[in-house]
Structure 1
Amino acid sequence: MSVFASLVADLADLLAPLFHASAMAAAIVLVTACVRLLVHPLSRAAARGQKARAKLSPQIAELRKKHAKNPEKFQKALMELHRKEQVSPLSGCLPGLFQLPAFFLLYHLFSSSSIGGKANELLDHKLFTAPLGGRFADALGDGGLFGSSGLLYLALFALVAAVATFNYRRTKRQMAANPPAAPGGEQAPGANAMAAMTKYMPFLSFMTLFTVAVVPLAAALYVVTSTTWSAVERAFLYRDMPTGSGAMGAAAVL
């Protein structure tokens, strides 16, 4: 059994007196919370970076106007401005990237029939009556939508939909407060793609519903816990920033 699997199993043993048969599910939620705590400094740094970029909006608008007919010069000037102000345009991606290993490890652990040449005992664990290695399709085949496993998934979908709706409304407000500036003259390369992405960005949070439906329940618990954490965390970190700059991260799945 891998080190990560052993860690989760040992944590489940510690939680067993409190959560009994659902101790493994509780361990996954707790592991997710620990991962998010470890990533929180990166989230705070990303928030600082996005707030700094928001303050640069007037200068960026001037650069865009100045170099409207020369996109290459605009990009160089923008990079120079970011370098001068010590602002990284990629800082918002780091929290999500650092969470991916834990998600993929859980996905692998609860998708494999064997670990290290031995039967995967993790697949014996359940959340109530739903196997942690099962998927929504399995729940539908075992009791239907209103069976015990189906009702559990309905509860997860309801929670994900509530979080996604919260993110959607918040992102719409942020984007309305700071609509994308329309560049004059010749558009920079990729401007149309950016405009399309901005248009559909508020809806990206609802993609989590699809993720929860197709991954093993253990990985779904990670996704649900992480996205709920993200919604609360971003509401706190960006509470004093009613602008569109904080909208990008709100659409993150993890």
Structure 2
Amino acid sequence: MDIYSFAPVAIVLDFAYSLVTALATLLAPLAGVLSTAAAIVAITLLVRTLLIPVGRSQVRAEFTRRRLAPKLKELQQRYKKKPELLQQKTMELYQAEKASPLAGCFPTLLQAPVISTVYGLFILQSINGHSNDLLTEDVFGVQLGSSLISFVGGGDAWPGALVYLALLAIIAVVAWLSRRAALRNAPPVSDELPPGMQNLTGILSWMPFITVIFAAIVPLAATLYLAVTTTWTLVERAVLRRRYEKAMAA
């Protein structure tokens, strides 16, 4: 079943479509033919601003895991032959520290409907039974509804492909910086874990690069959205991490 065709979701999506359309009209005197692209950027920034508390919760959970990592490692070494007691002591540690092993997960799940709704605006050809006219607008001669693959396949690769390449370059740089940050801020890996599990953090650190692949096959509107939202996330996490590091050092 297509989740976007589910009546409640379709209604919310249609409202979001009307909001972006109205925003594009409002920006037209300033942005001209780029008003729709500007509206996509603006609505993305607005959504990310509203989701700052989620980012704050995720970074707080990250610092909690780093802070508790040495204590958890000590428990694992002390009770490695007593798994039931290890589980009990682990939960007692979390309770004493007023923390949760699932900290940051619930806020992340809460933001999923918001992110998927906004993303749907930029990939669907029709919304709630009517055409998605956002995807018919152009950015420097490239239709927002065309993907890089379809655009190049149409034979008019240059100079329009530069629009895609610029956005993909931004997403790739952000992915690289995000991977570095993830490795730098990951909690220490326990020596008790199997070698495969010890390498899991390094493997997962490559996940941001999957966004580059998606960005190359989705409509340009979605590529623009991904460029803005990933850049925002990178900067937001850097600011929040710096703030928490200063708070811990104080």
TM range (shorter): 0.7 to 0.9
Q: How well do the aligned residues superpose, as a CA RMSD in angstroms?
A: 2.5
- SS in structure 2 opposite 1:56? helix
Tell me if the contact between 2:54 and 2:108 (Cα under 8 Å) persists in the aligned partners.
Answer: no
Tell me if the contact between 1:39 and 1:99 (Cα under 8 Å) persists in the aligned partners.
Answer: yes
Q: Deviations over 1:165-223 (max 9, x none)?
A: 22223333335xx531212xxx5xxx666434212132222111111112222222221
Sort the Cα spacing of 1:57 and 1:179 in 2 relative to 1 into closer, same or farther, 3 A: closer
Q: What residue number does 1:137 align with?
A: 149
| C-alpha separation in 2, matches of 1:217 and 1:90 | 35
- Which deviates the most, 216-225 or 85-94? 85-94
1:58 maps onto 2:67 in alignment: no
Instruction: Report sequence identity in percent.
Output: 39
| C-alpha separation in 1, matches of 2:228 and 2:241 | 20
Alignment-mate amino acid for residue 72 of structure 2: I
- SS in structure 2 opposite 1:148? coil
- SS in structure 1 opposite 2:206? helix
1:118 maps onto 2:130 in alignment: yes
- SS in structure 1 opposite 2:190? coil
- Give the alignment partner of residue 213 of structure 1, picking from 216, 223, 229: 216
Q: What residue number does 1:230 align with?
A: 233
Q: What residue number does 2:191 align with?
A: 182
1:100 maps onto 2:112 in alignment: yes
Q: CA deviation at 1:28?
A: 1.2
Tell me if the contact between 1:39 and 1:95 (Cα under 8 Å) persists in the aligned partners.
Answer: no
- SS in structure 2 opposite 1:180? coil
- SS in structure 1 opposite 2:104? helix
- Give the alignment partner of residue 170 of structure 1, picking from 156, 171, 181: 181
Sort the Cα spacing of 1:173 and 1:51 in 2 relative to 1 into closer, same or farther, 3 A: closer
TM-score (normalizing by structure 1): 0.80
Tell me if the contact between 2:24 and 2:38 (Cα under 8 Å) persists in the aligned partners.
Answer: yes
- Give the alignment partner of residue 46 of structure 1, picking from 48, 58, 62: 58
Q: What residue number does 2:45 align with?
A: 33
Alignment-mate amino acid for residue 140 of structure 2: F
| C-alpha separation in 2, matches of 1:140 and 1:154 | 12
| C-alpha separation in 2, matches of 1:139 and 1:79 | 54
| C-alpha separation in 2, matches of 1:214 and 1:96 | 25
| C-alpha separation in 1, matches of 2:205 and 2:18 | 39
Q: CA deviation at 1:228?
A: 0.5
- Which deviates the most, 220-229 or 68-77? 68-77
Unmatched segments (≥5 aa) in structure 1 = 243-254
Sort the Cα spacing of 1:151 and 1:201 in 2 relative to 1 into closer, same or farther, 3 A: same
Q: Runs of 4+ in structure 1 displaced over 4 angstroms?
A: none
Q: CA deviation at 1:161?
A: 1.6
Sort the Cα spacing of 1:110 and 1:237 in 2 relative to 1 into closer, same or farther, 3 A: closer
Tell me if the contact between 1:25 and 1:127 (Cα under 8 Å) persists in the aligned partners.
Answer: yes
| C-alpha separation in 1, matches of 2:66 and 2:137 | 47
